[in-house]
Structure formats: structure tokens, C-alpha cells
Amino acid sequence: MKKIWVKIDPWDKELVTTALEGGADGIMVPDGYSASVKELGKITTICDDGDIVPGRDMETFQITHGDQEETILRLSKEKMVVLECTDWTIIPLENLIAKGADVVAKVNNLDEAVVAFGILEKGVKQILFHTDDPVVLKKALAILKEGEEKVPLTLATIIEVLPVGMGDRVCVDTCTAMEKGQGMLVGNSSGSLFLVHAETVSNPYVAPRPFRINAGAVHAYTRVPGNRTRYLSELEAGDSVLIYDHKGKASIAIVGRLKIEKRPMMLIRADIDGKEVSTIVQNAETIRLTSPEGDPLSVVNLKKGDKVVAYTESCGRHFGHQIEETITEK
């Protein structure tokens, strides 16, 4: 599990509250403020009077050249090591991670955090996020925490699969090579989504394209970081989307390209605990939902009674944001 520490200097009560509410794992504050933090919530503090004391339990390194790597590697086995890069680059971190060092990367924005967590695929295990803007901190925590969240997926029972004619469908080509059991949550309702499987399967006619999800019709919803949904047709190159495996574990992927083309479409209707849910996808053998075991299931072979992985929530959404409101979608 990755850890997100937040540095707040100078003292700022609003930032501390934002860090607590956003799920930060610990807060670094000026000396003498540990008790003030703990009055607001139970969390690990870093300061001279905190749970982790700089100098005793933690060292900060400003890495400037490769000769420091062995010292940092040795220290990281004894105490918490916060690493600052004078000229932000992933090369020093790549070297240290490859050697097995457990370091904390100090970052100043969301882009740096995403890079640090993704280095050599496994990334650093911890970051120290420093900002003086509560809005930036709230957004960063929401995106970074959701990138490692695990949502409670459920099973939907197929009621009917029905060809509905021509429509505009969306292929989402990501910058991630996905594996069996992974895809995007997509559906006609923002609160009822199916796990549409990535194109990881070979067949006699089309080579696998594990970076692609033939997700569905232009109007369909999908989940994106920040506990939000977006229409498939709104996505564009550079946007972030959420990829899920069949057990509900999320990861962030970057959209590389969106392809919208006219294709024959089909309506899939299913039941989740007495609630009817649906989605519209392309009517083709290469489009697949996901079985409870993570196997891709071609939509052309679906039949009444089949079980597929899905997600449901009770809240409505307005402009992609979750709200407590009764909304009926048919």
C-alpha cells in the first residue's frame, strides 16, 4: 500500500483538515504543532514533538549526484529517508528503486506524484506532498487515493441482449497495456456500470490490442479519478481514466487516443439485486464483458442468466459529481 505524507509549513489549519479528510497517511508540520494536529484528528505527525522526529527517525536528502545513492540506500534501511531532487528527474529514483531502496519522494504537484508512484512500474512506496493550496491538495489526494482504491464490485445477471441498430461507439486507446481481467466500468447510468474488458484476447481476425477498450456508445458513463464520472465522448488525449480488475482494484491510465465510429450496436439489460441496469455496446465478437473469474465474455455469446461483473451505487450524480438526490434513468 502506497503512503501519502503531506508537508504543511507554515502551519495552516485548513490544510491540515484537508489532509485529514482526504485520507493522508501522515502530516509534517512545524515544530510544536503535533498536538494541534491531533486535536483535529488521529494521524501520524512528523516534527520535533511528533511521532516521527527529524534527525532521529527521518533524514532529508537533496540528491545532486549519483555518488549519494549508496549512502541513501544504506540509510533507507535504518530510518525514513525523504528525497528531494534539485532538478526534478526520475533517474535518481529509478536507480534507488532498482536497488531496493524504500525512500519518500518529495513532490510539489500532482504530475510529479503520478510519475513518482509509477517509476519502473511499481514506483516509490511513499511520497511527501508539499503545497499551500487546499484545493490542489484535495484534488491530489482524491486522485492518488482513488488510483489505489478497491471498489466493491458485484454481479449482474443478464436479462436480455438485443440488437438496436447503428450508433456512434467509442474506443478508448490508453497508454497502458492491460491484462486479463482488466477493463473500464461503463454503463447507461452513472450509478450502474459494467466491467467492459480490454482487448487482450487473440482471435483469427484481429490481433490483441491490450491498450484498447471498445467501451460503448458515446452517451455512456465511465469512472475517472476524483470519484467522478464522465461521458465517453468527452474524453480526449491526455485525460485520466480508471482501470479496474475483476476484483475491484483500480489504477489510473492516460488516454492516448479516442476513436468514435459508426457501428451496429446492441443493448445489454441485466439485473442487480432486483434493479434493472443496462449499457449499449458495439455488436461484435471482439467486445467483451467480464466473468466473475475475470475471463472476457464476448457480448455476442451472452445469454439470459449469465453472470457478469458490475458496479452499482445508490447516489445520483450532477456534472459527474456524486450527490444525494433521487435520479431516475431508464
Between 316 and 263, residue with greater pLDDT? 263
Considering the domain architecture, whether residues 99 and 233 belong to the same structural domain is answered as no
Claim to verify: residue 161 and residue 112 sit in the same structural domain: no
Whichever domain contains 182, its CATH number is: 2.170.16
Q: Is the pLDDT of residue 63 over 60?
A: yes
Question: With 70 as the cut, is the pLDDT of residue 120 above it?
Answer: no
Pair 199, 286: CB distance under 8 Å: yes
Residue the block writes with cell 439485486: 273
Eight-state DSSP code of residue 198:
P
Answer yes or no: is pLDDT of 317 > 50: no
Say yes or no: 224 and 208 in one domain. Answer: yes
Q: Say whether both 313 and 255 belong to one domain.
A: yes
Can you give the pTM of this predicted structure? 0.64
Query: φ and ψ at 216, to 5 degrees?
Result: 150, -165
CA 127, 145, 180 angle in degrees (round to 5)? 110
Residues 209 and 299 in one domain: yes
Task: For residue 46, give the CATH number of its domain.
Answer: 3.20.20.70
Last-in-domain residue among 92, 124, 146: 146
Give the residue from 146, 175, 193 where a domain finishes: 146
CA distance linking residue 288 with residue 79, whole number of Å? 48
pLDDT surpassing 80 at residue 162: yes
The answer to whether residues 174 and 127 belong to one domain is no
**What is the number of other CB atoms lying within 10 angstroms of the CB of residue 73?**
17
d(CA 323, CA 38): 30
Question: Tell me, what's the pLDDT at 149?
Answer: 63
Distances (CA, A) of 11 to 28, 47, 109: 10, 12, 19
12 in a structural domain: yes
Q: Is the domain of 317 the same as that of 184?
A: yes
297: domain range? 154-323
98's CB contacts (< 8 A; 6+ apart) are 120
pLDDT of residue 66: 61
Return d(Cα 61, Cα 87) in angstroms, integer. 13
Q: What is the pLDDT of residue 305?
A: 97
Confidence of residue 104 (pLDDT cuts 50, 70, 90): confident
Count of the separate structural domains present in the chain? 2
| Beta strands in 146-235, from DSSP E residues, in sequence order | 154-174, 182-189, 192-197, 212-217, 221-224, 228-231
The identity of residue 212, as a single letter, is: R
Check pLDDT > 60 for residue 318.
Answer: no
Which of 96, 119, 146 is the last residue before a domain boundary? 146
Q: Are 268 and 278 a contacting pair, CB within 8 Å? A: yes
The count of other CB atoms within 10 Å of the CB of residue 237 is: 11
